[in-house]
């Protein structure tokens, strides 16, 4: 049975209403909006298993304010009507009307809150393509000009990671222009407000959909304000489509690189070929179809974080990878026109972290694991999948008179059935099929919560057999509904037992 989420106690809402008295002391609609945004940000980023936190807490706050019927409550409802989610805003507007009809005093800024027009938008960006700072200038009918600055990090899947507001618009724009003039690695240029909206909407959606996003500590305070200011921008902006790189296009790019002057000194051509394939795949699949984009941050992320977590490299490939990456930086930069200072800084970063790469990269064979066994579990080289696939198929060696487990391939359905039949000799075919469906999901990491919840349950002392059978029951109960499956898994993660 689905448990209803418990809203916060009334004491929490009462404290927020006391804090809302500050809204009665301010005269500026901008100050009021920033205060309300900070209040709404108190629960931003929190997750509930069975419901939306904005509904459970945000809409409940509206109900509590409506019952208070005080000037502070009306001020808070007015601010939520401008800054809340669409459901919160509509509910706050309806709740505010009876209070105004009853003569509850409205704050002086109430008639102007949210009534902003965008005057211009700019983007401050580095030539590497690591980060964009979108600068949008707003005013209330030509008064109280202010700038919203939103930082988009393309090394973090293009999400919003920071935001702030400045009332010193001319000073801010002057500093941005001066930096672009003096720093050859920076650019500052105007963009259409509709384009700014399209870019911000996409980036903000990535942030909102990410569990525990790597945002600045203060970002939650500005989240509602950013959301409202994005809505105030004109719609209709178009974003460039992400380039599609199929196998042939990637192979052609790799061949051109290997035939180039930059790659001439790479001694192990076979290892270099496999390494450049990884570099190209990373740029195509994890950097918005931009394999030629290079930067110090991107190279560091690739070498120290992505490769050690995702790819099983041979000893020769481990040795060759930094050298291939440095050659790739020189070759790719020539094609993209990256300034010489940018090339030099990127190469310096590659060589600075080469020693760290050797330490960060943990070859599974050094842990006593047989490479042949690893290749059966990781035909795609996905190191991150090793633990969960070993959990799904722990019996891959030995056997009996009928089955030689060492000859079975756990990535093939027919062999999976034999592996599971060996593990469950007395099970009927239907039970084996249920195990097979679950094992396929764990193998693919679909959804990721299957393995993260299994790890949590294993840490709490539950045995593998019980975990698998509870997972099979959840798959049966949720009947293919992805959202219901994730919710049930998260509920199991936080439950005191497996029932």
Task: Evaluate if residue 1 carries a pLDDT over 70.
Answer: no
Residues 353 and 443 in one domain: no
In this prediction, residue 5 carries a pLDDT of: 46
Do the Cβ atoms of 327 and 299 come closer than 8 Å?
no
Calculate mean pLDDT across residues 346-368: 85
Domain boundary among 196, 231, 266: 231
Structure confidence at residue 366 (pLDDT) = 64
Whether 439 and 420 have beta carbons less than 8 Å apart is answered as yes
Q: What is the pLDDT of residues 97-147, one digit of tens each?
A: 999 999 999 999 999 999 999 999 999 999 999 999 999 999 999 999 999
Please indicate, yes or no, whether residues 219 and 155 belong to a single structural domain of this protein. yes
User: What share of the chain in percent tops pLDDT 90?
Assistant: 74
With beta carbons less than 8 A apart as the criterion, state whether 334 and 178 touch. no
Number of residues written out for the chain: 499
pLDDT at 8: 57
Is residue 5 domain-resident? no
CB neighbour list of residue 337: distance below 8 Å, 6 or more residues apart: none
Whether 362 shows a pLDDT value over 80: the answer reads no
Q: What is the mean pLDDT of the chain?
A: 92
Domain that holds residue 458: 384-494
150 in the same domain as 69: no
Are 417 and 329 contained in the same domain?
A: no
Per-residue model confidence as pLDDT tens digits over 210-235: 888 999 999 999 999 999 999 999 99
Residues 75, 139 within the same domain: no
Q: Which two tokens stand for residue 364?
A: 């599974």
Whether residue 255 is found in the same domain as residue 227 = no
Rounded mean pLDDT, 56-63 = 88
In a domain, 490, yes or no: yes
In the chain, the percentage of residues whose pLDDT exceeds 70 is: 96
Instruction: Tell whether the torsion through CA atoms of 223, 229, 231 and 236 is positive or negative.
Output: negative
Q: Per-residue pLDDT for 44 more than 50?
A: yes
Position 369 scores a pLDDT of: 67
Burial 260-295 (b: 16+ CB within 10 A, else e): eebbeebeeeebbbbbbebbbbbbbebbeebbbbbb
How many Å apart are CA 163 and CA 128, to the nearest integer? 21
For residue 352, pLDDT over 70 is answered with yes
The 10s digit of each residue's pLDDT in 279-291 is 999 999 999 999 9
Residues 408 and 347 in one domain: no
Per-residue pLDDT tens for 380-403?
A: 888 888 889 999 999 888 888 788
Same-domain pairing of 472 and 447: yes
**Is 277 among the domain residues?**
yes
- 129, 36, 125: which is closest to 75 by C-alpha? 36
Q: Do residues 429 and 329 both lie within one domain?
A: no
Strands 159-166 and 186-190: unpaired
Give yes or no for residue 253 having a pLDDT over 70.
yes
Q: pTM of the entire structure?
A: 0.80
Say if CB 391 and CB 454 are below 8 A apart. Answer: yes
Of 322, 308, 332, nearest to 254 by C-alpha is: 332
Q: Tell whether 56 and 127 lie within a shared domain.
A: no
pLDDT of residue 48: 64
**Residue 50: is its pLDDT beyond 70?**
no
Place of tokens 């109900």: 63
pLDDT beyond 60 at 3: no
If asked whether residues 320 and 395 sit together in one domain, one would say no
Q: What pLDDT shows up at residue 420?
A: 93
SS3 of residue 160 by DSSP? strand
**What is the reported pLDDT for 102?**
93
Q: Last residue of a domain, which of 231, 260, 291?
A: 231
* Same structural domain, 126 and 227: yes
């Amino acid at each position: 049975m689905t448990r209803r989420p418990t809203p916060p106690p009334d004491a929490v809402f009462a404290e927020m209403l006391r804090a809302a008295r500050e809204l009665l002391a301010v005269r500026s609609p901008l100050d009021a909006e920033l205060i309300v945004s900070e209040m709404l940000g108190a629960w931003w980023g929190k997750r509930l298993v069975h419901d939306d936190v904005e509904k459970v807490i945000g809409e409940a706050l509206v109900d509590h304010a409506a019952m208070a019927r005080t000037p502070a409550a009306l001020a808070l409802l007015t601010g939520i009507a401008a800054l809340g989610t669409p459901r919160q805003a509509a509910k706050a507007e309806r709740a505010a009307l009876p209070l105004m009809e009853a003569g509850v005093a409205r704050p002086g800024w109430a008639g102007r809150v949210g009534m902003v027009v965008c005057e211009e938008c700019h983007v401050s960006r580095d030539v590497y393509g690591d980060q964009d700072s979108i600068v949008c200038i707003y005013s209330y009918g030509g008064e109280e000009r202010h700038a919203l600055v939103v930082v988009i990090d393309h090394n973090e899947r293009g999400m919003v990671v920071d935001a702030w507001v400045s009332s010193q618009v001319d000073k801010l724009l002057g500093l941005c222009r001066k930096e672009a003039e003096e720093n050859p690695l920076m650019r500052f240029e105007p963009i259409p407000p509709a384009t700014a909206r399209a870019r911000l909407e996409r980036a903000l959606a990535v942030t909102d959909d990410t569990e525990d996003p790597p945002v600045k500590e203060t970002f939650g305070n500005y989240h509602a304000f950013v959301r409202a200011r994005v809505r105030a921008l004109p719609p209709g902006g178009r974003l460039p489509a992400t380039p599609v790189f199929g196998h042939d296009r990637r192979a052609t790019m790799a061949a051109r690189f290997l035939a180039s002057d930059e790659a001439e000194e790479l001694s192990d051509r076979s290892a270099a070929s496999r390494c450049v394939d990884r570099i190209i795949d990373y740029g195509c699949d994890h950097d918005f179809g931009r394999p030629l984009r290079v930067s110090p941050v991107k190279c560091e992320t690739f070498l120290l974080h992505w490769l050690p977590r995702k790819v099983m490299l041979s000893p020769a490939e481990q040795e060759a990878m930094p050298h291939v990456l440095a050659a790739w930086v020189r070759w790719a930069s020539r094609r993209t026109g990256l300034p010489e200072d940018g090339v030099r800084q990127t190469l310096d970063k590659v060589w600075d972290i080469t020693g760290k790469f050797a330490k960060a990269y943990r070859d599974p064979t050094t842990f006593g694991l047989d490479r042949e066994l690893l290749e059966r579990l990781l035909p795609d080289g996905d190191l991150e999948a090793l633990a969960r696939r070993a959990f799904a198929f722990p019996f891959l060696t030995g056997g009996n008179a009928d089955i030689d487990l060492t000859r079975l391939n756990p990535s093939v359905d027919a062999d999976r059935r034999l592996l599971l039949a060996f593990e469950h000799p007395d099970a009927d075919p239907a039970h084996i099929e249920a195990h097979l469906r679950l094992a396929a999901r764990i193998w693919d990491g679909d959804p990721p919560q299957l393995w993260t919840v299994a790890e949590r349950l294993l840490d709490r002392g539950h045995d593998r057999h019980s975990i698998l059978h509870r997972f099979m029951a959840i798959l049966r109960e949720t009947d293919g509904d992805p959202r219901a499956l994730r919710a049930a898994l998260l509920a199991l993660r936080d439950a005191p037992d497996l029932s």
